[in-house]
Amino acid sequence: MPISQSDKSRPILINNKPRIAITLGDVSGIGPEIIWKVFLNHSLFQDAIFVVIGDLDIFKNLRRHLKKDFEINLLRISRNYRFLKGAVNL
């Protein structure tokens, strides 16, 4: 699955939803894989907006290593970004 830019489809309405930032932890450990597994639970996105603070290359490598085709939504540093439901917003 390609890396999406935040101006693409599936924007989430973020009014009144808490925004939760998650750091990768030890990038050489299991942190990125645990984050990926948590994001498989799409029901989480009903209650909050989750953003992963980390390096794009880490998630590209994880995707390649796991041989899983999950979407990465790269957020640009701006106040005008859009979150994608079901994507790793990075």
Number of domains comprising the chain: 1
Q: Is residue 28 in a domain?
A: yes
Q: What is the pTM of this model?
A: 0.60
Q: Is residue 39 in a domain?
A: yes
Q: Is residue 4 in a domain?
A: no
Between these two residues, 6 and 85, which has the higher pLDDT value? 85
What is the tens place of the pLDDT at every residue in 34-83? 888 888 888 888 888 888 888 888 888 888 888 877 788 887 666 676 77
Q: Is residue 82 in a domain?
A: yes
Q: State which residues form the domain around 60.
A: 16-89
Q: What is the pLDDT of residue 78?
A: 65
Place of tokens 């390649």: 64
Percent of residues in the chain assigned helix, strand, coil, to nearest 5: 30, 20, 50
